Amino acid sequence: MNTYPQGPQSDAHRLRKGDVKTLLLASLGGALEFYDFVIFVYFAGEIGQRFFPADTPDWLRLLQAYGLFAAGYLARPLGGVVMAHFGDRRGRKRMFTLSVFLMALPTLAIGLLPTYAVIGMAAPLVLLMLRVLQGIAVGGEVPGAWVFVSEHVSAARTGLACGLLTAGLTAGILLGSLLAAALRAGMDEAALLAWGWRVPFLIGGVFGFLAVLLRRYLAETPVFEELRRRKALEQGLPLKRVIREHRRAVVMSMAMTWMLTGAIVVMILMLPTLAQSLFSADLHGANTLATLSLTMGCVFVGLCVDRFGLARSVVVGALALAVSSLWLFAALARGAPAGVLDGLYALTGLSVGVVGTVPVSMVRAFPAPVRFSGLSLAYNVAYAIFGGLTPLAVSWWAHAQPYAPAWYVAALALMAMVLALAGTLPSTPLSRRVSGIVC
């Protein structure tokens, strides 16, 4: 009778030297890859002007540019499922390295791409293709990174591993925001439109290839190596087994991903614009501080998962998210001073760090031979659906009820709390779960 491997268990509460290197390189690569993916949105206006006809109305060019940005999200499920299949069959490391390469190549190409004035309609078509490639890459990167780091560390440090990796992803958003702000502050509009918008893509492409080289020094996960040694790898289609045997885990993972998308999309990405339109409040500067707080919050929540358990961390973190979101909107509604708003926004960003519990719940929900496929299916499909619908739903609701964004996030936080209190989330540490199920 074969059982699934447990992964490293010696000195369970300590990070070994190899673990530290793995976490640092994985987090750095994740930050650079997410930077490459989101930098597009910070220069959507310039891209719209350079890649569509000059006689196109400004609003339509911006809409078309956002459409190209959205194409990356729509491609995520395809990339995630395909790369996860080979990740479960051929190895986590191969796909982990391939994903960052597939991101670096189109990012560099966007920085070098001729504009509409040079090659006509071929310019937006090639740009669309490059965005699709970026979406495929990030669809495999995020689930693959969570699986990779969780299978490298002991069960007692799964929370910290996933928290650090998630912090790396949010740091990529922060890096893109800071670079965009720096370029806009240091260049005039003409130079930014002429060539300045290319700079962040060229930087991202170069550093992306550096991340590819660094990831070559990472080792395959001990869990996968043990599965290969025991000849316990999934022989059929991992995705087919996930759908047949792990539907409950898929539904739970999609629900947790919904909470993640709502918290980040609404409270981090949309809130500065919402605050301006609903309350005439300027939170654009405070958004950087909130994103930094989110990055720290992911690490803190990961430590809490390892110390207090997944369910307790979800309950307390989700409650903090609901309360801080409603508190912030109450302050916005009463016209609180800028300093108060900035502090509450930073507190809310810290509470959004509860999303660090999401990868832990997902990597524990699926057995090792199909873990990559199960996590990737649930995460990418849920993100494509809810990540796309959330801005539309929240914007429409906010016209009738200014508190709508906060109520939406609070409702998702309540859902996560119910899942935790009902015992739906996996309570068994990763190592026990994979060793206790018969192949």
Q: What is the pTM of this model?
A: 0.85
Tell me, what's the pLDDT at 13? 57
At which of 216, 233, 250 does a domain end? 233
The sign one gets for the Cα dihedral 393, 394, 399, 401 is: positive
pLDDT reported for residue 328: 97
Q: What is the pLDDT of residue 343?
A: 96
Flag whether 70 is in a domain: yes
Residue-level pLDDT at 438: 29
Domain with 365, as residue range(s), is 236-439
Q: Give a yes or no: residue 69 inside a domain.
A: yes
Same domain for 177 and 241, yes or no, is no
pLDDT on residue 1: 36
Give how far Cα 323 sits from Cα of 86, 327, 352, 407, Å: 42, 6, 11, 10
Q: For residue 60, what are the CA distances in angstroms to 44, 45, 52, 194, 404?
A: 12, 11, 10, 20, 28
Q: What is the largest CA-CA distance in the chain?
A: 70
**Phi and psi (nearest 5°) for 334?**
-90, 5
Task: Tell me the one-letter amino acid at 219.
Answer: A
User: Does 48 share its domain with 25?
Assistant: yes
Mean pLDDT by 10 residues, the chain (439 residues): 47 64 82 83 85 84 78 83 89 85 92 93 93 88 89 88 91 87 88 92 90 83 87 85 94 96 89 87 88 94 95 97 97 93 96 96 93 93 85 83 94 97 78 37
HSE of 370, CA atoms in CB hemisphere, 13 A? 24
Q: Are residues 63 and 190 in the same domain?
A: yes
Please check whether residues 190 and 283 belong to one and the same domain: no
Residues 215 and 247 in one domain: no
Question: Do both 246 and 366 map to the same domain?
Answer: yes
- Indicate whether 369 and 438 sit together in one domain: yes
User: Do residue 112 and residue 260 come from a single domain?
Assistant: no
Task: Specify the residue for token string 């997944």.
Answer: 310
Tell me, yes or no, whether 133 lies in a domain. yes
Structure token digits, residue 250: 């898929």
Quick check: is 328 in a domain?
Answer: yes
Q: Is residue 207 part of a domain?
A: yes
> Where a domain ends, among 179, 198, 233?
233
Nearest to 287 by CA among 207, 230, 332, 345: 345
Judge if 62 and 103 occupy the same domain.
Answer: yes
- 331, amino acid identity: A
* pLDDT computed for residue 180 by the predictor: 85
Among 233, 253, 272, give the residue marking a domain's end. Answer: 233
Q: How many CB atoms lie within 10 A of CB 13?
A: 9
Q: How far is it, in rounded angstroms, from Cα 86 to Cα 205?
A: 25
- Residue type present at position 351: S
> 173 and 262: one domain?
no
Residue 1 and residue 437: Cα distance in Å, rounded? 10
Residue 1 lies in a domain: no
Total domains in the chain come to 2
CATH of the domain at 348: 1.20.1250.20
Judge whether 9 lies within some domain: no
Do 194 and 287 reside in the same domain of the chain?
no
| 325 and 428 inside one domain | yes
Is 2 contained in some domain? no
